[in-house]
Amino acid sequence: MLFACVCVPACRRRLCSLLVFTAFVRSFDLQVYIFWNFHEEVEGQFNFAGRGNLTLFMQKAAKAGLFVNLRIGPYVCAEWTYGGLPAWLGLKDGVAFRQTNAVWQPAMQKWFELIVDRMAAGKFFASQGGPIVLVQVSQYVIESASQRESV
């Protein structure tokens, strides 16, 4: 499988349609980044309208017969501000991104459940007949304390 990377919030509606069409014509599948900080700029206030309409994008991918690697994050990098992590989370006392702690884990779990539930409700997972064949949980895996300190 060859994947073309798509950052849905960075696309205007016509451009996203063109990208889906181009991927179809050129036999690429789509690697789709989801930026937590785009969809939840303010804690608890979610935006999936306009450029953030993941449902519409997945419908277009499904209609074109494309496979999708959904990059939920929470850290996706992609040269996007804060790697896609919300700034409000970084301001919380005791948070340590991408590490075991009482602030990070519940916030990350809430984010994951929100996205997974939205995609499941739209029947976008391959097991439901949808286009999502892979879900990538993070950009990087940190295996040891020494690696965490260098990030």
CATH number at residue 7: 3.20.20.80
Number of domains forming the structure of the chain? 1
Could you tell me if residue 12 is inside a domain?
yes
Rounded Cα distance, 50 and 17, in Å: 13
The reported pLDDT for the residue numbered 150 is 43
Could you tell me if residue 149 is inside a domain?
no
State phi, psi for 117 to the nearest 5 degrees. Answer: -65, -40
The SS3 of residue 3 is strand
Q: Which domain holds residue 112?
A: 3-138
Whole-model pTM: value is 0.78
Could you tell me if residue 145 is inside a domain?
no
**Full pLDDT tens readout for the chain, 151 residues:** 545 555 555 555 555 565 566 655 556 678 888 899 999 999 999 999 988 889 988 998 898 888 898 988 888 876 778 888 999 999 999 988 877 889 988 999 999 999 999 999 999 999 999 999 999 887 555 555 544 554 4
Could you tell me if residue 40 is inside a domain?
yes
Could you tell me if residue 143 is inside a domain?
no
Could you tell me if residue 148 is inside a domain?
no
Could you tell me if residue 73 is inside a domain?
yes
Q: Which residues of 68-85 are buried (b: 16+ CB within 10 A; e: fewer)?
A: bbbbbbbbbebebeebbb
CA-to-CA separations, 90 to 13, 41, 98, in angstroms, rounded = 31, 12, 11
The reported pLDDT for the residue numbered 60 is 85
* Eight-class DSSP state of 125: B
The reported pLDDT for the residue numbered 151 is 46
The reported pLDDT for the residue numbered 126 is 96
List strands edge to edge, sheet with 68-71.
3-7, 29-33, 68-71, 132-136
Burial of 8 (0-12, 13-18, 19+ CB in 10 A): buried
